[in-house]
Structure 1
Amino acid sequence: MTLPLMIFAAGKGTRMAPLTDVTPKPLIRVGGQTLLDRALHQGETAGVGPIVINTHHLGHQIRDHVAGRGIAISDESDLLLETGGGLRKALPLLGAGPVITMNPDVVWTGTNPIAALIDAWDDRMDALLMLVPLAQTHGRRGSGDFSLDPHARLIRKGDLVYGGAQIIRPDRLAEIAEDAFSLNRLWDLLIAGGSAYGLIHDGEWCDVGRPDCIPLAEALLDG
């Protein structure tokens, strides 16, 4: 199954300041490779296509970085739309049907999360989120996001952290009136309908949202 991939690269990266004063967070290097290239490699290895990246903060740097690689840009330079609004704007570039979305500001060990999501996806699902047990996370502040019922459906609150990768059907984005909004709004609709599921990652994961997370991520990758 070949699915399109949307990489969210439009955020301002305020937690990563001052590094993001001059460099967009997806282009920050961890272990000698940009976060964006790590995410792209996971998608390309899993056979996704087409690939779309949204841009806002220092977006010209991201556009230049991927030039000539067959990647489409969804430009949000006029208005930052958050994850939900950003996905909705990019839909003409992604095509109809389920979409993989990925946050590039994390690193993973273990199975390629995109490949694992594709293998586990089936037609009863409207969303399948990759989740990481809190004990297997690094750089994470605060509690988890979700738990799962016996059928692997999402329940709000618990010790499972959303890892920043999912497959989701975007159809119900049309029900949300705002231009800029979080994908949490769509998740809530799908959770209420019993069609949002979770898959537990088999490796470890690091949030790379702050400067102090970079050495944590590099140590995880070196381990």
Structure 2
Amino acid sequence: MPDAVMLFAAGFGTRMGALTKDRPKPLIEVAGRPLLDHALDLTRGLSTRVVNAHYHADQILGHLQGRDVTVSVETPEILDTGGGLRHALPLLGDAPVFTLNTDAIWNGPNPLDLLQAAWDPGKMDALLLCVPIAQAVGRNAPGDFTLHPSGRLIRQGDLVYTGAQIVKTDLLHDMTQPAFSLNLLWNRMAQDDRLNGLTYPGKWCDVGHPDGIALAEGVLRDG
């Protein structure tokens, strides 16, 4: 079973406006704690935890100093999700890994536990945790996927990708560009019917914009 996790924390957080002028989005506080710490809470018990950093990387490094977490600094350019994951593979190893976005708040079971229980490497190259739009607080866009009865994911639909998944990393080495999205990897997997999904039973809040902070604190209070 996967025992390593990559937490994405390198982005510019432009949708947060002035809140990210002088600090990275993962250090914005929700309910008195940085978003990054909320995400790290979900990863306890995993042997290898890697956080990537680019924008205000020094602040991410300082925040995590002394913790059992390794930082993968992307320089001089940011590498996007796929390039960032590939850049961190020397720290993560070659086995399938969890990846987790750091700009979300959860109310319900630990998403990584659910993914691990459902992971079947014999028929999956990636398992994405999705949430119905009705349970996606703060989401101001259409859904991303439809879940086929077989468990595979189809593009477009009423399910929102939560930013949590288990993914095999071998296809990353086939990508020629230094910076690229994990969407390119998922497209390859979907062609082989090996992109699978799982529905999250609780609530999930996108903290990608300033209003998301109050919404996320409401989600935590509800829990």
Q: Considering the TM-score relative to the shorter chain, is it more than 0.5?
A: yes
How far apart, CA to CA, are the structure 2 residues paired with 1:126 and 1:56?
A: 28
Indicate conservation of the 8 Å contact 1:30/1:217, yes or no: yes
2: CA distance between counterparts of 1:140 and 1:148? 19
What is the rounded CA distance, in whole Å, between the counterparts of 2:139 and 2:25 in structure 1?
17
Counterpart AA for 1:85: G
Equivalent pairs: percent with the same residue?
Answer: 52
Q: Does 1:51 align with 2:58?
A: no
Cα deviation 1:11-42 (Å, max 9, x = unaligned): 00100120101111001110111110011010
* Residue equivalent to 2:97: 99
* TM-score normalised by L of structure 2: 0.97
- Identify which range, 82-91 or 47-56, moves more after superposition: 47-56
The equivalent residue for 1:108 is 106
Deviations 1:64-112 (A, max 9, x none): 1111112111111311000000000000000111010000100011111
Q: CA deviation at 1:2?
A: 4.7
Is the contact between residue 57 and residue 77 of structure 1 (CA under 8 Å) also seen in structure 2? no
2:140 maps to a residue whose letter is: R
Query: By how many angstroms is 1:141 displaced?
Result: 1.1
CA contact (8 A) 1:83 1:181 kept: yes
- Tell me if 1:19 matches 2:19: yes
- Counting matched residue pairs gives 221
Residue aligning to 2:197: 198
Q: Does the alignment pair 1:79 with 2:80?
A: no
Tell me the SS of whatever aligns to 2:163.
strand
Secondary structure of the structure 1 residue equivalent to 2:68: coil
| Alignment partner, residue 125 of structure 1 | 124
In the aligned structure 2, how far is the partner of 1:68 from the partner of 1:55? 17
Given residue 133 of structure 1, which amino acid in structure 2 is its aligned partner?
P
CA distance in 2, matches of 1:14, 1:83: 16
Aligned alpha-carbon RMSD (Å):
0.9
Partner Cα separation in structure 2 for residue 71 and residue 78 of structure 1: 22
What's the secondary structure of 1:6's corresponding residue? strand
Question: Partner of 1:173 in structure 2?
Answer: 172
Instruction: Note the C-alpha offset of 1:138.
Output: 1.0
Which 5+ residue runs of structure 2 have no aligned equivalent?
A: none
* Partner in structure 2 of residue 217 of structure 1: 216
Q: Separation in 2 of the partners of 1:95 and 1:175?
A: 17
State the Cα distance separating 1:168 from its structure 2 match.
0.1
CA contact (8 A) 1:140 1:207 kept: yes
TM-score normalised by structure 1 residue count = 0.97
Q: Extract unaligned runs of 5+ from structure 1.
A: none
